[in-house]
């Protein structure tokens, strides 16, 4: 039934400057890359990727970057507060059958879904390199979680200002990796321009790649059409949010514009 289920927040964790994880007791089984719609009754309801899923405990986590009215409000909520949740929605990432050497490229809170994917990949015996990008050291999320999972040799940090790891972009680190080692598959989640760049680089190098795209969502389950992308018309919430880089190459608006709440196009 497509309606929010009311749950009390069971825990809150600070991840980085302006970024928190909200934990909810919910037996929902979400694949890495899938998202939920989170409702603050009387305020609004917005999409968030599932970033933690502990099926034994029956708990999921959503990692929220405070960027505007809704996410700030959500970030200031307390343990015990009621929120509504529905989902999971959309198509998650696929771990290819014969892909052993994987690279995750996460920008900002985009590493939420990729960290869960990395956990699954490791449990299936894949080798994972994680490129974690952020504006600055203070905005880095999950560095410890990823180090624990992969070992620090497999975590490559990039910051725009050089305050941690390599000064530069996720894409610079990705290009270097291509030169240094064999890569079977790349997964990317982050700002639109980064996704466009990663997808282009992978297409040029003929490396399989999946990217998770974000578009303004209303229903989340493929009916309202608000999240359809130009010019191919597929729905980010239903055919996406995870799409192949081959599909990404056909989306002319990727990295260039998106639609706002009214549906008007706005340059990124």
Ligand X SMILES: Cc1cc2nc3c(=O)[nH]c(=O)nc-3n(C[C@H](O)[C@H](O)[C@H](O)COP(=O)(O)O)c2cc1C
Binding site residues, another protein, CB under 8 A: 1-4, 6, 37, 39, 41-46, 82, 84, 218-219, 221-226, 228-235, 238, 259-265
Q: How far is CA 180 from CA 50, 121, 174, 183, 196, in A?
A: 32, 21, 10, 9, 22
Q: Kindly provide the b/e burial profile for residues 164-200, where b requires at least 16 CB atoms within 10 angstroms of the residue's own CB.
A: bbbeebbbebbeebbeeeebebbbbbbbbebbbbbbb
In the β-sheet with 208-212, what is the strand arrangement from edge to edge?
A: 166-167, 155-159, 127-134, 101-107, 185-189, 208-212, 242-244
Interface mask toward ligand FAD for 124-163; x: CB under 6 A: ----------------------------------------
Closer by beta carbon to another protein, 172 or else 230: 230
CA–CA distance, 110 with 202 (Å, rounded to integer): 18
Examine residue 246 and tell whether it contacts ligand X (CB under 6 A): no
Closer by beta carbon to ligand X, 6 or else 223: 223
205 in Cβ contact with 178 (< 8 Å): yes
- The stretch near ligand FAD (CB under 6 A) out of 117-125, 135-143, 172-180, 209-217 is 209-217
Q: How far is the CB of 51 from another protein (least distance, A)?
A: 21
CA–CA distance, 189 with 242 (Å, rounded to integer): 9
Interface mask toward ligand X for 220-239; x: CB under 6 A: ---xx---------------
Residue 41 binds: one of another protein, ligand X, ligand FES, none (C-beta under 5 to 8 A by kind): another protein
CA–CA distance, 47 with 214 (Å, rounded to integer): 9
Per CB under 6 A, residues contacting ligand X are 223-224
Per CB under 6 A, residues contacting ligand FAD are 35, 46-49, 63-65, 67-71, 109, 112, 214-217, 241, 260
């Amino acid at each position: 039934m497509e309606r929010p289920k009311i749950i009390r927040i069971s825990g809150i964790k600070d991840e980085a400057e302006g970024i928190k994880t909200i934990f909810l007791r919910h037996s929902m089984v979400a694949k890495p890359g899938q998202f939920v719609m989170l409702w603050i009754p009387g305020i609004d309801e917005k999409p968030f990727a599932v970033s933690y899923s502990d099926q034994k405990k029956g708990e999921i986590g959503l990692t929220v970057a405070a960027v505007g009215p809704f996410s700030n409000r959500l970030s200031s909520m307390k343990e015990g507060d009621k929120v509504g949740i529905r989902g999971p929605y959309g198509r998650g990432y696929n771990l290819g059958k014969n892909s052993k050497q994987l690279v995750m490229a996460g920008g900002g809170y985009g590493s939420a879904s990729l960290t869960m994917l990395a956990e699954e990949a490791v449990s299936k015996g894949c080798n994972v390199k994680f490129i974690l990008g952020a504006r600055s050291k203070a905005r880095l999320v999950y560095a410890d979680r990823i180090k624990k999972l992969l070992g620090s040799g497999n975590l490559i940090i990039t910051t725009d200002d050089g305050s941690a790891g390599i000064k530069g972009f996720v894409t610079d680190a990705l290009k270097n990796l291509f030169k240094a080692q064999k890569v079977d598959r790349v997964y990317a989640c982050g700002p639109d321009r980064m996704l466009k760049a990663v997808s282009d680089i992978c297409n040029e190098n003929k490396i399989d790649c999946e990217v998770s795209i974000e578009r303004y969502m209303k229903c989340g389950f493929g009916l309202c059409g608000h999240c359809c992308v130009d010019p191919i018309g597929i729905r980010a919430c239903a055919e996406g949010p995870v799409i192949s880089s081959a599909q990404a190459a056909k989306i002319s608006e990727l990295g260039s514009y998106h639609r706002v709440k009214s549906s008007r196009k706005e340059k990124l």
